[in-house]
Structure 1
Amino acid sequence: MDFGTVVALIIALVGFGLIVASRRDQRGSREAARLAAVERKLDAVMKHLGIEEPRAAEDPDVVAHLVKGEFIQAIKVYRERTGAGLAEAKDAVEQIARQRGLR
């Protein structure tokens, strides 16, 4: 094979690889968009029906950390279990502590 043929083959292989990779990214993006749409719809249905998402307030690990005085660890567990942000988790854990007379 001459040099031009080798270069053409390399370019073709790199192009093919880029096409395959972009299709995977597009598929992942579409799936993420569909999942987000389903979550929005589910949230709307739950709101319409007056259903609240279960909270980690009943989570025994959160309460156990509060009983031990491990407030920061309780927030970490709450965030892991609910996906809440830091401020939201802090407020929720403070409320749990107040309800149980732990703070």
Structure 2
Amino acid sequence: MDTAILFLTCVVILGVMTIQGHLSRVDRRAARVERKLDAVIRHLDIHEEVPGRDEILALVRRGKRVQAIKLYRETTGADLVEAKQAVDRLA
């Protein structure tokens, strides 16, 4: 009984480690693709259409970056890091 539990525990741990390795590779690959896409967008001088951009820019100009980030997140559904980077680019 103890041997079976130990064996199953080892199998589960190895499975989790394998899945984590695959996920980290996928995350790195996705980040690399995003960087390349950002470089292409900059090179082509394409500006992403941001809903409420004028209001976000007005908040940034008034020194209300936190409110600008919050508004960006609400209008686009972006996470905190992505919203902060976007507001920094708009500034």
Q: How far 1:33 sits from its partner (Å)?
A: 0.8
Q: Which residue of 2 aligns with 1:13?
A: 8
Q: What is the aligned length?
A: 77
Higher-Rg member (1/2) = 1
Encode CA deviations 1:34-65: one digit per residue, 9 max, x unaligned. Answer: 1100000001111111112222316xxx68xx
* CA–CA distance in structure 2, aligned partners of residues 28 and 46 of structure 1: 27
Identify unmatched segments of 5+ residues in structure 2: none
The TM-score with structure 2 as length reference comes to 0.63
The 5 A counterparts of 1:1-103 are: 6-56=1-51, 57=53, 75=68, 76-80=70-74, 81=76, 83-85=82-84, 88=87
The TM-score with structure 1 as length reference comes to 0.57
| Percent sequence identity over aligned pairs | 32
Any runs of at least 4 consecutive aligned residues in structure 1 with deviations exceeding 4 A, and if so which?
A: none
Q: How far 1:18 sits from its partner (Å)?
A: 0.4
RMSD: 3.1
